[in-house]
Chains A and B, each alone.
Chain A
Amino acid sequence: MQWELNTEKPVYLQLVEQIQAKIIAGVYKPGDKLPSVRDLAAQAMVNPNTMQRAMTELERDGLVHTNRTAGRFITSDEELIRQLKEKYITEIVRDFLDKMKQLGLGRDDIISYLNKLTENSN
């Protein structure tokens, strides 16, 4: 999974979102050990202080925790990850629905589009 950063938003927020996405997608599994801040920073090509700040945010939300000697780990609390996933997906769907509403589409229109497009992709 690649890191994709745009330049308009604060970098640390984008890092938080992308690490969350990686946790949801299972790239980082519950209880996994994370690479060091410096290695992650080098991977994402960002400042180590910025990556540190992202980690602090994730720790505050309980998604990541530090074991003083062993390093930094993804939470083993699967319920927390499930909640995060639900929140994340709800936000995306809500964004999508808002956009459709702006275009004047109703529920039935949206569902018919969804059916049409998912048929094609199968």
Chain B
Amino acid sequence: MPLELQLSLPLILILILSIKIVMVDAKFGNNKTLGFVTALAGFIVVFISAAFTLTISPEAIASLNAEELYSKGTITYGGFAAYFDMLFCVAAILTILAALPYFQKENSEHNAFYSMMVFAVAGMMLIAHSANLLSLFIGIEIMSISFYVLAGYFRTKEKSIEAALKYFLLGAFATGFLLYGIALIYGATGSLSLPEILTKIAADDFSNTYLTLGIALMLIGLCFKVAAFPFHQWAPDVYTGAPTVVTAFMSTAGKAAALIAFIIVARALFVIDIGQAAEIPDFQTNAIMIIAIISAATMLIGNITALVQKNIKRMLAYSSVAHAGYLLMGIVANSPQGWEGIIFYATAYLFMQIGAFIVLSVLERKTDKNLDLDDYSGISKSHPFLAAIMAIFMFSLAGIPPFAGFFGKFLLFTAAIDAGFTWLTIIAVISSMISVYFYIGLIVYMYFRKSNTYPLEADMGSAKVTLIISTACVVILGIFPSLIINLINNFF
């Protein structure tokens, strides 16, 4: 098999899977578990093929000549793209394992859910692989459109539909800005291919007005997708209204995908001062300063608003906004170190946030019951297992060692300091300390409050697998972070 086909195997397989799962739904729509089985098996196959492409040596990939490839250089292979393929597949597997018992409980099993999950993952993988503004845009749209549908999955519930409507209108609005930005960058540099744009910018061969405007508009669009201040207002509403398992997936894998888009764009538009250009252009210094301010404001607003929430789902939604702020620090650092920090923290964040939302989905009952802090009083007595792992996720989200969240924050903070953004790191540390209050607050409710007169029911089913895997990953990545760090060190 030619090397290019081997490298594009994950993308080809996910495309085959997305066609197959629609056909399975059309032919065996009455069989409620078949969609689940197909999606699970498919994701495992895609995961294995992505792991296989990660083993192909970077030298072999670098030796490919873009002109002779079928993809004509619009797709990146191997490296971080393959890593993110694996990550998205893991997130999807964890989500659908928890979704099966969740939808049984809610009496709304449809195979369409699994189809949309496959489409969303296909879009995310395309984002991770894109080396061209066109494929980047298509990937972002495939992901977003699947998410609009997933957010409105409970189509008879007012909250779910409201979440879908808000997400759709604001998401499409943001798409307009993103596209206008792409159009102006295309006009300024005369190319859609990201490596070509980088060479043109480094050679100072572009129209400054259009490029500055384009970057500003594209920044608005991307900030919308990662839910960064001042474009974060949709996130709490959508994350609260959407079905809990969907929120688990959107707020982790979706955020990771939006951030990888950010990294890809930043690598093409911003030159690093080691040898790529004689001097750093003005627009770059300004853009990075603006991203730094956005990052600082995002983490402060997210954490301070989360303080006053009584609903745990909404609290976690605001904390997810705050985490977007931490992750943007890696973009601000604009160095390989910062991007590696983003990749590590996105991995750690994915496991801890999915775990926390799945605990919620296990305890949640119809009509959004059992989502308030008071309902969690004293559940360490009735559900010691759930309380213990929820405590682990909360410690990890708060960034307390020895869990994975601590090392992620550590990497991002050091990258920002090395890039000369000490003030940003100070704000990040302060906002982490604010966040400890509400994360530990939940643990206090679970362990040190009297239990309710009505004990919560919990039937986990296959969600137990999700919880065990995510707990294991949070603990292992916290104790042995070098497992991932050694891998991602080769990417940039």
| A and B interact physically | no
Q: Which residues of A contact B (CB under 8 A)?
A: none
